[in-house]
Structure 1
């Protein structure tokens, strides 16, 4: 069975693969992050406490979801698993000013940290396994990016 058929037949894979965005054959993490933007836009309409609650639940569920998808595929961290990018981007956008420019800035910052993997992200990516490892490196990338977003918002928001 093709990977696409596997993804679209299983709710676990469908979510882990970002509703299919992780199936793009090049830069699936970038496409996964792009797919997270419409959901971010909807979440941004709610109060901050609700946004934070959704991100927390998405992170906790994501640990199981990404781990289970990887286990079923028999691949530690399949590049098509992009739920971690969804959560990492949503962390980046916590309390971000509204507007398309801020979404673009958040997208770029998150992708830079996710790809560059500065300390300790590269250690987590290499040493922490399972769903927790899949999620944690992107959550740290999101934490780095949200700090920069908040400084930028302070001066330019």
Structure 2
């Protein structure tokens, strides 16, 4: 069966009371990033990627090199970890990312009639990877949690649990 035409958009929001999680003092340090630094692509159209850990390296070009002119993998101008890389940010957790909220706006459109429905008039469920219903969403529950929201709202932790994923 062909996919139903529609659209999806995601938006990430920082928690109102972001604190320093206990895991920030354990194996890795933490950095505090805004939602716009965590979500890629920032427009959230069709899919979303959320950064949970990061490291930032600077790879300066060797004298006489330009990275865009490297013609093979063995070329000294090709970016390599050994080419004087400097850590700007050591591997770090994004502090409290599990408490950020994701708003998912979605709609579908009929093929024959072009009737369109947006998520505000559809009921749905957040299902786990093993088929269990974790959260039921109706217009009433949506309005109770945030009457001004245009989409379904989940925490990053809820989506991780649904996927069976663990950040450890």
Please, what TM-score do these two structures have when normalized by structure 1? Answer: 0.24
Greater Rg by CA: 2
Where is the strand percentage greater, Structure 1 or Structure 2? 2
Where is the helix percentage greater, Structure 1 or Structure 2? 1
